[in-house]
Amino acid sequence: MNTIMSESYPYIIQPEDIHTGITGIDQEHQILVNMLNIASEQLTDDCGRLSNEEIIRDLLSYALYHFDNEEALMLEYQYPTAEREKHVREHRDFSTSVAQLRLAANKGKRVTREELLNFLKAWFVKHISGTDKQLAIFLGKLDPSLSSKA
């Protein structure tokens, strides 16, 4: 049996799928993608909820840190208010959804690994390829030094 093609992680998100072109943002997205890929391997359906809780908490806290950085860039570069408010609302909706999932899980509701991963993957890909990409284009025009050389 040829095992050369086997991968250690299923790679539920490929970095190139969420490239925005702004170096700092892409580096943080890369960390989020790595965390998500590792979580997809480590999350279990039937093991103790405590270990799952830790994985979700770490992902959420890094996501919040990253949202803060994006929001600081929006203010620094005076991103138009309507776009900024829409973008920030998406970040807040994400936090609310994750908080609701955690609350439901803590109350004993069975949140499946698949349910959680599908939600996270869909949210990140949609948000990054749409809302973040729009911000990245704005920032790249205003300050080319923020753009990746690739």
Residues that bind Fe ion (CB under 5 A): 70, 132
Closer by beta carbon to Fe ion, 103 or else 142 = 142
Cα 142 to its chain centre, rounded Å, is 25
Closer by beta carbon to Fe ion, 26 or else 70 = 70
Shortest distance in whole angstroms from residue 9 CB to Fe ion: 24
Task: Write b or e for each residue in 57-68: b if 16 or more Cβ atoms lie within 10 A of its Cβ, otherwise e.
Answer: eebbeebeebbe
Q: What's the CA gap between 148 and 22, in Å, rounded? A: 6
Closer by beta carbon to Fe ion, 56 or else 135 = 135
Closer by beta carbon to Fe ion, 111 or else 135 = 135
Shortest distance in whole angstroms from residue 1 CB to Fe ion: 43
Quick one: which of 80, 93, 100, 102 has its CA closest to 123? Answer: 93
Residue nearest to Fe ion (CB): 132
- 56 within 8 A of 25, measured Cβ to Cβ: no
Shortest distance in whole angstroms from residue 10 CB to Fe ion: 24
